[in-house]
Amino acid sequence: MRLLQTPLLCNKQILVIDQTPKNKNDRTWCFWETEAGLFEPIVHHRWHDIQFLSQQFSNTISIAPYTYKMIHGLEFYNYVIHFAQQFSNVTFKYDTVKSIVNKDKRVEIKLENDAFTADYVFNSIIFKQPKVPKGKYYLLQHFKGWVINTKTPAFNTNLATFMDFTVSQQHGTTFMYVMPTSATQALVEYTLFTEELLAQTDYENALKHYIQNKLDISDYTIEHEEFGIIPMTNINFPKYEGRIINIGIAGGQAKGSSGYAFQFIQKRTAQIVASLVKNQHPFTKTTFLEKKFKLYDSVLLNVLHHKKLNGDTIFADILKKNNAKIIFRFLDNNSNLCEDLQIMNSVPTSFFLKAALQELFL
Ligand SMILES: Cc1cc2nc3c(=O)[nH]c(=O)nc-3n(C[C@H](O)[C@H](O)[C@H](O)COP(=O)(O)OP(=O)(O)OC[C@H]3O[C@@H](n4cnc5c(N)ncnc54)[C@H](O)[C@@H]3O)c2cc1C
């Protein structure tokens, strides 16, 4: 999408390979931004206020200058594919990629039934699960979401529940996420940050229990279901392997400490396109800021992995003592040192300082 919107690049021969056509609504993206983004025309719903709930602290927070936005996976796929179909230099191919290998100054890509070479391959496939070296962490953010419909009005469409930690924390950091899109419809998602997945019935029972007992809804239908697993890790997903440019989660674009990926993917693809225009190659250097936020992610993962503090306590402290603008800037990897110190000051220093020293020196 970004290549095609860039006059210097939009005439390149582009082959898009996926194993199957993107014709299912397999995910819902939520993210925040301060301005209209590239995908503004397909934003399904927007919220200006969010709710945070926990045993320690609960509040409704106005998030200006940010807006919390939702995009449906299928609308995203249709929008991008429709745009790309206007370009005769873009070809779609459905097949399974078997290997991607650098060969001289080209990249060879082997499919089950075909093979191609290209100047560059932008790869979003994780071919094998990475090994977790000693001293690194690999938590899973796993979640099941239901879009439910009620017969009578049950939701306030102006208020999204960003995190509701008032659910059992027996498995580890666990919260519900409630995104109402009409008075009678909401996405309710049961989310955990743990090392192990649960049985599918555990997610379903937790959702049923929450809808019945916390949302006080007994008469509803499930319109849509989604399930996801996102790595929360500080292991290195290489950005490049020769002329193979890893993008998306395969390129390390899921933030280690939150699992949010959508906006990081946007930022990264914009950087790649900017570099192609300016430098005639897609390679960008890792910046000091990227390293700084990777360290922060590692510190939080250290605290969660070693169970020094529970996730609900950490998030409650941060939400209680900071305004939304600083929190979102921090979560976006955009905060300055002064704002970082303010966030760090809101969590128990003894645990975090020790974890920071371990991450820096061990
Ligand atoms: C249900 C769900 C909800 C999410 N919600 C949010 C959210 O609200 N906010 C947020 O920031 N992030 C969210 N994420 C995380 C992240 O934004 C998404 O996972 C995002 O789609 C990652 O993009 P990607 O390009 O890395 O991978 P994908 O979108 O998964 O793309 C990888 C592509 O590679 C194809 N592929 C894989 N193997 C092969 C092969 N061998 N041959 C050919 N093709 C292959 C797949 O078919 C797929 O199309 C969510 C993830 C899921 C699963």
pLDDT digits (tens, 9 = 90+) for 88-111: 999 999 999 999 999 999 999 999
> Ligand 1 — pocket residues by CB below 6 A?
17-19, 27-31, 96-97, 124-125, 226, 228, 230, 248-250, 260-262, 265
Question: What confidence tier does 315 reach under pLDDT thresholds 50, 70, 90?
Answer: very high
Residues ≥6 apart with Cβ < 8 Å to 308: 302, 351, 354, 355
What are 200's two structure tokens? 């599918």
pLDDT at 362 over 90: no
pLDDT tens digits along 217-232: 999 999 999 999 999 9
Tokens 């900017």 correspond to: 274
Q: In this structure, what is the dihedral angle of CA atoms 303, 305, 310, 315, given to the nearest 10 degrees?
A: 60
What are 286's two structure tokens? 């890792």
CA angle 196, 231, 63 (to 5 degrees): 110
Tokens 């049950």 correspond to: 154
d(CA 41, CA 356): 42
Q: What pLDDT was estimated at residue 21?
A: 97
What are 316's two structure tokens? 């409650």
Q: How far is the CA of 196 from the centre of ligand 1 (A)?
A: 20
What are 253's two structure tokens? 């674009």
Q: Which residue's CA is the closest to the ligand 1 atom numbered 7? A: 29
Kind and range of the H or E run holding 145? strand 138-150
Q: Which residue's CA is the closest to the ligand 1 atom numbered 51? A: 228
Mean pLDDT, the chain, integer: 97
Q: What's the helix, strand, coil split of the chain in %, to 5?
A: 30, 30, 40
3-state secondary structure (DSSP) of residue 118: strand
pLDDT tens digits along 160-208: 999 999 999 999 999 999 999 999 999 999 999 999 999 999 999 999 9
What are 17's two structure tokens? 């390979």
d(CA 133, CA 63): 38
pLDDT tens digits along 266-308: 999 999 999 999 999 999 999 999 999 999 999 999 999 999 9
d(CA 359, CA 362): 6
Task: Give the bridge partners for 103, in sequence order.
Answer: 106
Q: Can you list the positions of beta strands (E) in 236-282? A: 240-241, 244-246
pLDDT tens digits along 2-43: 999 999 999 999 999 999 999 999 999 999 999 999 999 999
Question: What confidence tier does 129 reach under pLDDT thresholds 50, 70, 90?
Answer: confident
User: Per the confidence metrics, is the pTM higher than 0.75?
Assistant: yes
Question: In terms of Cα–Cα distance, which of 170, 165, 157 is closest to 210?
Answer: 165
What are 281's two structure tokens? 């190659």
- CA of 35: how far to CAs of 11, 68, 238, in Å? 29, 11, 30
Q: Which residue's CA is the closest to the ligand 1 atom numbered 23? A: 248
Best of 124, 142, 179, 203 to mutate for ligand 1, by most ligand atoms within 8 A of CB? 124
d(CA 166, CA 168): 7
Q: Are 124 and 48 in contact (CB under 8 A)?
A: no
The ligand 1 atom at the shortest distance from the C-alpha of residue 145 is 1
* DSSP annotation of 41: G
